[in-house]
Structure 1
Amino acid sequence: MFDANPATATSPTLPRPPLAVRKGPFAGKVAVITGSESGIGRETARAFCEQGGAVVLNGRNAERLEHTRRQFVAAGFAVASCQADVTDYADCERLIETAIQEFGQLDVLVTNASISMRCYFADMQPEVFRQVLDSNVYGTVYPLKAALPHLTQSQGSVTFISSISALNGMPSGSAYCAGKAAVANLAHTLRLELAHTGIHFGVVHIGFTQNDAEKRVLAADGQPVPIAHRPPRWQKTQVEVASIILGHIRRRRQRTVISALGRLIVLLHTYFPRLGDWIVLTTIRRLRHFYE
């Protein structure tokens, strides 16, 4: 659990509430949440602020990022924002520096930003594979590298947002699955390598989640297309997922798998891998729209 550590955030242009103005488990704590201009990242940032913390919002779309920032300011949250591409290390240095300049500390990093895909490997342009993989791997590594000195100082918390698709291969998602599996393994490695720092390293494997209407993934040629069909009854809301992520951070858990489907995948992959593969192959034949 986090203990409150009051501090005051100031800005030359926009007065912000003190970090401890709201009571809650994150009172006095500062988070950088990548990809928080929209979707799960936005709702995680909102919940973090509601529970007493301050947050630096991030995204690549300046208009959407500013819209979210204004919403947070109107709600009385302690918030700053930084337009940055997390696959660019210089941008990530600027993102982390925003937290230090605005709030004087960094306690939590959530690497949420990534690009997904919707195409089969044989049809996929190599550049598209690289783009998806870079967004997931370097989009995790670069913010962490920039933040590491500050997180060491605060003995803070790092959470990589992965997916249930990292637990077992998912057709039409080769690069995405590879990237999400890589960050899960990275967290395990860093947990061992940096145990002496006191930093918490955790992974959240997200399942099917309701998306913003404008959310797009990459097709084989790199063009943005709507995400593949997911039955609504299988989906959690963004608010539900955000709540689970914050519970994971508060408890400093090593791994959290969201949804019954995710836990079933873990069970099958661990103890009945052939059965798991048979189920996937069967759904490819009978439910192609699920992947395509």
Structure 2
Amino acid sequence: MTYWKDKVALVTGASQGFGKVLAQQLIQHGCHVVLAARDEHKLSATASELDADGTHTYCVPTDVTNDDDVLRLLESVQQKYGRLDALFNIAGISSRGLVCETSIDEFLCSYDLNVLSAVRCVQAARPLLEASQGHIVNMGSLASKSASKFIGPYAASKFALAGINHQLRLELADVGIHVMLVCPGPIAREDAGTRYAQQASDLPDSAAKPGAGVKVKAIPPQDLAAMVLKGCEKRQTEIVIPSKARLLFAISQLSGAWGDWVLRRFTSS
């Protein structure tokens, strides 16, 4: 019997990418998984692929930037299962661009999807998670700790998410809710190197690369998902991959100039 058997987990951004891989591993561990994403057709296709007989999945089409949608999502979880053991805030958006050339609307979009969506879900899920003394996992990035050039509003929103996560960790400790921030480098994907081609067309070639050219190896999503689930079991506060990135973060805290120098050394031009 695994830790996750017969537990109930909610995964946002579950129809593709890392959210889909994480949902798959939860299902393999015997967990009941609520799949949430905006596109109903992609969500249904994902559920059919991961759980053909529908035993372990429940699809709730949801726009996590919409207050009413999020409230309906958690009401559906309450009605279907009467409990919730883990909330995985995976939905998000990344970008390429220069801060001085990025519109305020783009900043607001990034902030809403990368930060406020997690706040909405946490606020709605808190009663159920307090009852189960469950888990909140927020999907950050190495950009939650150290900005890179050419990533537009992404770092600003991921830094904000890290701040929210820290506050939640302190705020919810007394009621037994575990809060964890996951800060990975680039996650391996089929469209790596091409997904930002249009956004980065006027930027150096490195901007279109995974991690905006930071020299770190892409992380297999299956490996990261396993680390996340194990981190929940151990009630870790944070996961940073690769772990050597912590050295850069420490140097940056001591000296911004030194941190910038190290970052430039490990970023392709």
TM-score class, shorter? 0.7 to 0.9
- Higher alpha-carbon deviation: 270-279 or 179-188: 270-279
Aligned with residue 50 of structure 2, among 65, 72, 91? 72
Measured after TM superposition, the shift of residue 141 of structure 1 is 0.5
SS at match of 2:47: helix
- In the alignment, residue 278 of structure 1 is paired with which amino acid? W
AA in 1 matched with 2:220 = T
Contact 1:57–1:79 at 8 Å: present in 2 too?
Answer: yes
Deviation at 1:253, TM superposition (A): 0.8
- Give the equivalent residue in structure 2 for 1:250: 233
State the superposition RMSD in angstroms.
2.5
The question of whether the paired residues in 2 share the 8 Å contact of 1:111 and 1:160 is answered with: yes
Work out the CA distance in 1 between the residues paired with 2:154 and 2:30: 33
Is 2:19 the partner of 1:41? yes
1:202-260, CA deviations, whole angstroms, 9 ceiling, x for partnerless residues? 1111111112439956949xxxxxx8213797101111111111111111111111114
What is aligned with 2:223? Answer: 240
Q: Does 2:45 align with 1:62?
A: no
Q: Distance in 2 between matches of 1:53 and 1:158?
A: 16
Contact 1:31 1:107 in 2 (8 A): yes
1:207–1:261 Cα contact (<8 Å) kept: no
Residues 1:229 and 2:212 aligned together: no
Unaligned runs of 5+ in 2: 201-206
Matched residue type, 1:252: R
With structure 1 as the length reference, what TM-score do the two structures score? Answer: 0.81
1:7-57 CA-to-partner distances (Å, cap 9, x unmatched) read xxxxxxxxxxxxxxxx31101210001101111111111111111211011
Q: Do the aligned residues in 1 keep the contact of 2:48 with 2:54 (CA within 8 Å)? A: no
**Offset at residue 116 of structure 1 (A):** 0.9
Which residue in 2 is equivalent to 1:15? none
The answer to whether the 8 A contact 2:8-2:31 is kept is yes
Can you list the C-alpha shifts for 1:52-104, whole angstroms capped at 9, x where unaligned? 21101111122211110111222765111111111111111122222222222
- The residue correspondences of 1:152-191 to structure 2 (distance < 5 A) are 152-191=130-169
Whether the aligned pair in 2 keeps the contact of 1:37 and 1:57 (CA below 8 Å) is: yes
Task: Using structure 2 for the length normalisation, give the TM-score.
Answer: 0.87
Structure 2 CA distance for aligned equivalents of residues 210 and 105 of structure 1 = 33
Runs of 4+ in structure 1 deviating by more than 4 angstroms, as ranges, are: 214-218, 281-284
Which residue does 2:203 correspond to in 1?
Answer: none
- Select 2:71's aligned residue among 58, 82, 93: 93
Identity of aligned residues (%): 29
Listed as ranges, the matches of 1:2-41 within 5 Å are: 23-41=1-19
Structure 1 unmatched ranges of 5 or more: 1-22, 221-226, 288-292
Whether the 8 Å contact between 2:248 and 2:263 is mirrored in structure 1 is no
What is the SS of the residue equivalent to 2:140?
strand
Residue identity in the other structure for 1:148: R
Quote the offset at 1:140 in angstroms: 0.7
Letter in 2 for 1:90: D
Q: Which amino acid aligns with 1:106?
A: L
> Would you say the 8 A contact 1:25–1:52 is kept in 2?
no
